[in-house]
């Protein structure tokens, strides 16, 4: 049930991202999980549906930005929804990245059903 989700659960979810541990991430997501990344051709970014696609989506983050890290996390949960705010840091194509962002979650049966990612876009 959604009531099982706590900020500590979201801490553990974020820790799995920072360890680059796709198996741990997928264990915390439903079988029909959805990950909507912050970038893509569509208004929602790129949508990854189901464990295989979500694995591909999250591992792409680490391929493009091998030192990807989500720090200074702050979370809140209200019913079947939650938010994590964070500072993303990493290196992509030799350029250092540091931007604020957040994930908006939908929970079902004690797991993440939807992870919808948003982040700032620095221009310099």
Q: pLDDT digit string (tens) for 25-39?
A: 999 999 999 999 988
**Of the candidates 89, 86, 94, 63, the residue with the CA atom closest to the CA atom of residue 10:** 86
Residue 124: the pLDDT is 66
Instruction: Summarize the confidence of residues 43-47 as an average pLDDT.
Output: 89
Residue 86: the pLDDT is 97
Report domain 2-113's class: alpha beta
Give 98's strand partners. Answer: 89
Average pLDDT of the residues of the chain: 93
- H or E, element range at 85: strand 81-92
Residue 1: the pLDDT is 42
Residue 3: the pLDDT is 52
* Dihedral angle computed from the Cα positions of residues 66, 49, 39 and 102, in that order, rounded to the nearest 10 degrees: -80
Instruction: Give the residue with greater pLDDT, 41 vs 116.
Output: 116
Residue 43: the pLDDT is 83
For 57-112, what is each residue's pLDDT tens digit?
Answer: 999 999 999 999 999 999 999 999 999 999 999 999 999 999 999 999 999 999 99
* Single pTM value for the model: 0.91
**Of the candidates 6, 5, 7, the residue with the CA atom closest to the CA atom of residue 30:** 5
């Amino acid at each position: 049930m959604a009531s099982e989700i706590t900020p500590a659960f979201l801490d553990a979810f974020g820790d799995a991202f920072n360890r680059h541990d796709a198996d741990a991430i997928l264990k915390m997501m439903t079988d029909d999980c959805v990950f909507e990344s912050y970038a893509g051709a569509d208004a929602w970014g790129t949508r990854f549906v189901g464990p295989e696609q979500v694995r591909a989506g999250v591992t792409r983050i680490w391929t493009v930005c091998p030192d990807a890290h989500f720090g200074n996390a702050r979370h809140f949960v209200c019913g079947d929804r939650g938010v994590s705010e964070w500072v993303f840091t990493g290196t992509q194509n030799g350029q250092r990245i540091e931007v604020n962002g957040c994930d908006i979650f939908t929970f079902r049966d004690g797991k993440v059903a939807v992870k919808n990612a948003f982040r700032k876009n620095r221009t310099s």
